Chains A and B, each alone.
Chain A
Amino acid sequence: MNSPASKPAILIIDDEPELLRVLGLILRDAGYQVHQAIDGKEGVRDSLRLKPDLIILDLMLPDISGAEVTQQIRKTSQTPILMLSSNESSTEKVKTLDAGADDFITKPFDPDELLARIRATLRRHTPSRDDDTIAIGDVCLVRSLKRLQIGDKEILLTKTEFAMLDLFARNQGKLLSHERILREIWGPQADSRREYLRVYISNLRKKMTVPGYRIPNIQTRSSIGYRLTLE
C-alpha cells in the first residue's frame, strides 16, 4: 500500500489500448499514479507486485473472466475493485460482485462520474469484523446491543432491519448484490423473501430519515443490488 502522502496508485486492467491510454491521461491529470495491465493474468500479477490503492477492471478480458480475476486478487488483497461493464446482462456483474468486487460503472461512462466513484471508494473506511461500534456520518451502530443511534436519538429497528443495516455498514460503500443480501440475512429461506427485499430496504430508509443529521443513504442499482453510502 502506498503511503498517504504519495499519490494514490490505480491499476487499470483492460485489453483496449486506446481506453487504457485515455483513462491513464485522465487519471494522471486528476493526480493519481497509473499502472496498466492488458489481460487478466497480468492484472493479477501486477496487483500482487504493485499493491495499488484501487483496481479498475474490465469485465470482458481476452484470457480470464472478470469474476475469476477478482477471485484471485481477493485471495491475497482487499484492494477496492471497480468493474467496467459494457453488457446489460446482470449475471456476470453479480458473479464478480459476489467474488469481491466493490462497484461497477457502465460503458460509456462520464469521466467525472468515474473520478467521483474513485474518490469515494478511496475515502471509504472499512470497519474490521471485530468493531463493535460502527459510525457513518451521524449514524452510530452498536452491534453488541443491536442499537441504532442517529445523533442522540435511538431508532427502533426490527431484527431483520438491524441485520440488514449491519451488513451494509460492514460493507460501507460496497455494492451488495440481491443474492448476497438475501443469503446473508435469511440463509436457506432466502428465495421466499426475494420479492419483498425492496420493502425491507424501503422501511429501513424511512426509519433512517431524521432531518438535520448527516445520514448515509441506501442506493439502489437496478437489477443488481444496494449500497450504503454517505455521498
Chain B
Amino acid sequence: MKTTNSAEALGTKLLRLLTGNEQPSRYPLQQCFEKDFRNRFGNIFANTGKAIAIMATTTLFCWLGKDVLKPEACCLVFLGVTVLFGALMPPPAPFLLAALGLVSWNYFFTPPAYELSIRTSDELVLHILFVLIAAVMNSLTANLRQRERASRLNEQTSTLLRNCQEALSQGDVDACLRLINAATGAQTAIRPKAQVVEGWLIVCTPLSSHDTPATFLCLEFKTPAIITARGKEILQSLAHLISAYFERRRFIAEAEKAHTANVSEKIGRALLDNVTHEIKTPAAFMLASLHRIRSRDDGRHENEIRGIAEGAHRLVRLTEELTLMSSVRTQMLQPRVEHCNASELAREIIQEDVRPTHAAILDLITRSPEACVRTDPHLAGIILGNLISNACRHSPADCRVKLTVERRNDEVVFSVSDRGNGVSIADLPHVFDRFYRGANPGSLGLGLSISREIAGIIGAKLTVSETPGGGATFQMALPLTEPYLEHEDALS
C-alpha cells in the first residue's frame, strides 16, 4: 500500500511540475470559476515553453548518440517522447510536441542532414506512421483526460453539495457559505436585492419566494471571472439547496406558530365555555326556582320575583356579551355564509334570538318580500337580536317596536325603530364605542360595540338615526344578492 501511495505522490508531483497546476485536487471544479483570462493564456505559454524544452533535450540526446543510433531508432525515440509527455500535458502542448519532434528528426537525423526532405519511400512511410501514431495517441489521451476530468468534477461537485447539505441540516448557513467560498474562490453572501453591491454576481432569484424583499445568493470574485456553463449549473444547484433550507425553516416556523395559535385557541374556547357554564347554570336554577315560587305565590311577591328574574337575565346577558366580545377579539367567529331570503331571515331571528317577552311587542314589516342577502344568519341574528333587545328595553310599556325589512338600491336594510327616549345628539357619535353607556344603567356598554365588530366581520353597515316623531332607529344594511334558482325537474 505504501509503495502505491508513494508512486501516486510521485505521479502527482510530476503532474504538478508538468501542468503547472498548484492544487491538482481542486483543478476541475475550480476551472469552472477561473478568475482571470491571464491564467488561461499564461498556462498555454508555459506549456509551449515546456514542449520546446522537452524536444530540445530529446534532440540533444539523439545528437550525442547519433553515431550509435540509426535514423529509425531516433524516430522511435522522438515518437516515444511525444507520446509519453503528450499524455501528461494539456492541449495544445501534445500537438506542438508531435510537430517539433517530426521536424527535429527530419532536420537533424534523416540524410541529408540539416535539410527538411523526404527522399525514399521508407522515409515517407516512417513520417506518415509518426504523424498517425502521434495523432491517435494524442486523441486517445485527450479523451481519457476529458473523461477523467468530468468524473472528478462530478465527484467534487457532489461532495460539495453533500457537505453543504450536511452543514445546512445542522442549521449552519455560514459553514455552507465557507464551503462554497473554498470551492469557487469567491466571496459568497446571502442578502436582499437592494443590498447587492455592483459587480456582484446574483446566482439565484429569488432564494425564498416568500421573502420581501427577495433575497439572493450573491458571489463576489476579486478579479474578473469567467464562469463556465457547468459552473453556473453548480452555483444554481447550491442556491436551490440554500433556498430549500430557508423554505423549510419558514415552513417549520409557520407550522409551530399555527400549532401554538391552535392550542391557545382551544384553551381560550374551553375557558370561555367553562365560564359561561358556571354562570348560566346557577342562573338556570335560580330562574327555575323562581318559576316554582311564582306558581305557588298569590301575586303578593310578583314585583320581587320579577326583580330577581331581571337580575338573573342581566347577569346572563353580560356573560354572553363578554364571551362574545372575547370571541370577536380572538377571531374565533368565522362567518359561514348562506343564501337567505331577508324577510324569512328576520322571522327566524325573531323566533330564535329574541326573548318571547320582547317578541310580543315587536311588529315585523316586510316591504321587499323577495329580497335576498348572502350572510351568516347566526351572526346577523346576534346583531339584530341585540338591536331588538335594546329597543324593547328602552320602549315605553304601551309602545310597540317595529322591525322593517326593505330593499334600498343595492342593499337590504333591516331597521329597528322604537318610541323610547331616543339617542341624544351628544351620544350619537359614540353609541357604537366600547364601554360607552350614555345614561343607560345596568349595561357594560358592550352590546352595540360588539354588534359593530360583528357587522365588520359579515360586511354589514350599522347606523343610527332618530325615529320621526321620537325614539331611535338602528339600521343594519347588507348587500343585496340575486335570488338563487335551482334548476331541477319535479318528480312526476
Interface residues of A (CB under 8 A from B): 16, 18-19, 21-23, 25-26, 29, 60, 84, 86-90, 92, 107-112, 146-147, 156-160, 162, 194-200, 202-203, 219-223
Q: How far is the CA of A57 from the CA of B491 in the complex (A)?
A: 41
- Given A108-B280, A111-B288, A222-B377, is A202 in contact with B488 using a C-beta cutoff of 8 Å? no
The 9 closest A-B pairs by CB, nearest first: A223-B378, A86-B280, A108-B284, A107-B284, A156-B490, A87-B273, A107-B280, A158-B488, A19-B285
**Contacting A200 at CB < 8 Å: which of B285, B295, B312, B486?**
B486
Q: Judge whether B339 and A158 touch: CB under 8 Å.
A: no
Chain B residues within an 8 Å CB radius of A18: 282, 285
Docked Cα-Cα span, A60 to B240, in Å, equals 53
For B290-326 the 0/1 string (1 means CB < 8 A from A) is 0110010000000000000000110010001001100
Given contacts A159-B491, A197-B338, 18 further A-B contacts (CB under 8 A): A19-B288, A23-B285, A29-B292, A60-B273, A88-B320, A89-B272, A107-B283, A112-B291, A157-B490, A158-B490, A160-B488, A196-B484, A198-B338, A199-B339, A220-B352, A222-B349, A223-B336, A223-B377
Contact call B486/A222, Cβ cutoff below 8 A: no
| Chain A residue contacts of B291, Cβ below 8 A | 26, 110-112
User: CA A167 – CA B283 in complex, angstroms?
Assistant: 37
Q: How far does the alpha carbon of A167 sit from the alpha carbon of B289 in the complex, in Å?
A: 39
Chain B, 347-393, CB within 8 A of any chain A CB: 348-349, 351-353, 356, 374, 377-378, 381
Check: B341 CB closer than 8 A to any chain A CB: yes
Cβ–Cβ contact A158 & B491, under 8 A: yes
The reply to whether A222 and B272 form a contact with Cβ atoms under 8 Å apart is no
**Residue B269 interfacial (CB < 8 Å):** yes
**Is B491 in contact with A26, judged by CB distance below 8 angstroms?**
no
From B284, B313, B338, A19 is in contact (CB under 8 Å) with B284
Q: Is B183 in contact with chain A by the CB < 8 A criterion?
A: no
Is the CB of B165 closer than 8 A to any CB of chain A? no
Measured CB to CB, the closest approach of chain B to A93, in angstroms, equals 11
A159→B491 CA distance, assembly (Å): 6
The interface residues of chain A lying within 8 Å CB-to-CB of B283 are: 107-108
CA distance A86 to B489 in the complex (A): 43
Complex Cα gap A109–B344 (Å):
25
| Given A88-B276, A195-B339, A202-B341; A222-B285 close (CB under 8 Å) | no
Check if B77 is an interface residue, CB within 8 A of chain A: no
| B: number of interface residues (CB 8 Å) | 50
Q: Does B103 contact A (CB under 8 A)?
A: no
Query: What B residues does A223 contact at CB under 8 A?
Result: 336, 377-378
Q: Tell me if B340 is interfacial: C-beta within 8 Å of chain A.
A: yes
> Do A109 and B284 touch (CB < 8 A)?
yes
Q: Which residue of B lies closest to A160 (CB)?
A: B488
Hey, which chain A residues are within 8 Å of B352, CB to CB?
220-222
Q: Bound state CA distance, A66 and B132, in angstroms?
A: 96
Residues on B lying within 8 angstroms of A by beta carbon are: 269, 272-274, 276-277, 280-289, 291-292, 295, 312-313, 316, 320, 323-324, 327, 336-341, 344, 348-349, 351-353, 356, 374, 377-378, 381, 484, 486, 488-492
Closest to B274 in A: A60
Contact present for B338 and A195 (CB under 8 Å)? yes
Question: In the complex, what distance in Å separates the CA atom of A215 from the CA atom of B151?
Answer: 87
* A112 vs chain B, min Cβ distance (A): 8
**Nearest-Cβ distance from residue B350 to partner chain A, whole angstroms:** 11
Indicate if the CB atoms of B338 and A108 lie closer than 8 Å.
Answer: no
Residue from B280, B292, B312 having most chain A Cβ neighbours under 10 A:
B280
- State the CA gap A60–B274 with chains docked (Å): 8
With A and B bound together, what is the CA distance between A45 and B436 in angstroms?
A: 52
A95 and B422 CA atoms in complex are apart in Å by 44
With both chains docked as a complex, state the minimum distance between the C-beta of B44 and any C-beta of chain A, in angstroms: 72
Give the chain A neighbours of B492 by CB distance below 8 A: 156
B378 and A222: CB pair below 8 A?
A: yes
- How far is B347's CA from A202's CA once the two chains are assembled, in angstroms? 12
If the complex has contacts A87-B272, A198-B340, A198-B377, are A160 and B288 also in contact, measured as CB distance less than 8 A? Answer: no
Given A108-B316, A198-B339, decide whether A157 and B348 contact each other with a Cβ distance below 8 A.
no
Bound complex: CA of A15 vs CA of B351, how far in Å? 30
Which of B339, B344, B491 is the one whose CB lies under 8 Å from A157?
Answer: B491
What are some 17 contacts across the A-B interface (CB < 8 A)?
A86-B277, A87-B276, A88-B324, A107-B280, A107-B283, A109-B284, A109-B287, A110-B291, A111-B288, A112-B291, A156-B490, A156-B492, A162-B491, A194-B336, A194-B338, A198-B340, A220-B351
B478 to chain A, nearest CB (A): 15
Query: What is the bound-complex CA distance between A147 and B492, given in angstroms?
Result: 9
Choose among A88, A162, A196 the residue with the greatest number of B CB atoms under 10 Å from its CB.
A88
B335, chain A: closest CB distance, angstroms? 11
How far is B289's CA from A29's CA once the two chains are assembled, in angstroms? Answer: 13
Please state if A146 and B277 are interface contacts (CB–CB under 8 Å): no
- CB within 8 A of B281: which of A107, A160, A222? A107
Q: Which of A86, A108, A195 contacts B312 (CB 8 A)?
A: A108
B288→A22 contact, CB < 8 A: yes
Instruction: Give min CB distance, B330 to chain A, whole Å.
Output: 13
A143 to B133: give the CA distance in the assembly, Å: 98
State in angstroms the CA–CA spacing of A108 and B277 once bound together: 10
Instruction: Give B381's nearest chain A residue, CB to CB.
Output: A222
For A107, list chain B residues within 8 Å (CB).
280-281, 283-284
- The listed residue with most A CB atoms (<10 A of its CB), out of B277, B341, B492, is B277
* Residues of A close to B281: CB separation below 8 A: 16, 19, 86, 107
Q: Nearest CB to that of B355 among chain A residues? A: A110
Which residue of chain A has the shortest Cβ distance to B378 in the bound complex? Answer: A223
User: Closest Cβ of chain A: how far from B343's Cβ, in Å?
Assistant: 10
Q: Which of B292, B327, B338 contacts A22 (CB 8 A)?
A: B292
The answer on a CB contact under 8 Å between A60 and B353 is no
For A105, give the chain B residue with the smallest CB separation.
B284
Q: How long is the Cα–Cα vector from A18 to B287 in the complex, in angstroms?
A: 12
Q: With A and B bound together, what is the CA distance between A26 and B282 in angstroms?
A: 16
